[in-house]
Amino acid sequence: MRGSRFIWICIALVAGQVLIGNFLNLSQFVLLTFLPAIILCLPQSVGTPWALGIAFALGLVVDFFSGSVLGPTCVALLPVALLRFPLLRLVFGSEMFDRRENLSVKRHGLPGLLLVMLAANALFLLVYIIVDSAGTRPFWFNLVRFLVSLVLAVIVSLPLMSLLLDPENN
C-alpha cells in the first residue's frame, strides 16, 4: 500500500511544483521548492542509480511544464539524489541502514528531519542558484535569494515530508 500512496502523493507534489513555477512567482528573491523532500523520502530499497534517474525525470518534468529553461532543476536535484544516503548517514548514523528502515518522524525525530531537510535544500538551492544566475547576478542578490528560499523551502518541506513518509511509522 505504501508504494501506490507514495507515488500518488509524489505526482500531486510534482503537479503542485509545476503550478507554483507557473502561477506563484512571489518575488525574484524567492524560489519555492519541495523536490528535495521527495528525493529524501524515497524508500531505502531505491538505490542511488534509481534515485538519480527519478531526480532527473522529476527535474525534467518540472522544468518542461514550468515553461522555464530545461535543465536547472535537473542539475540541482541530481546532487541531492547522489548524496541522499551520505546525508542520512551523517545525520542519523549507520543504524538506520543496518536495520534497513526508512525515514519516519516517530523514529528519527523532528530535529533530525529538520537538519537533513536543511542540508538537502541548501545543496539543491546552492546548485540551482549558481546554474540559474550563470555569473550574471551579483553575489548579494544570490545570497539573499539563497537564504530566503532556504527558510521558505524548509518550512514548506517539513509538513510535506511527514505526508510522504509511511503513516504507519509516523
User: What is the spatial distance between Cα 149 and Cα 90, in angstroms, rounded to a whole number?
Assistant: 23
Q: Which residues contact 30 (CB under 8 A, 6 or more apart)?
A: 145, 148, 149, 152
Q: Is the dihedral of CA 143, 28, 52, 91 positive or negative?
A: positive
CA distances from residue 73 to 79, 80, 99, 111, 155 in whole angstroms, order as listed: 11, 11, 32, 27, 20
C-alpha cell at 73: 532543476
C-alpha cell at 27: 518575488
**To which residue does cell 527558510 refer?**
151
The full set of domain ranges for the chain reads 2-25+32-164
C-alpha cell at 85: 544516503
pLDDT in tens, the chain (170 residues): 466 888 899 899 999 999 988 887 777 778 888 899 999 988 888 889 999 999 999 999 999 998 778 889 999 999 999 999 999 888 888 877 777 777 777 777 788 888 999 999 999 999 999 998 887 888 899 999 999 999 999 999 888 887 887 665 44
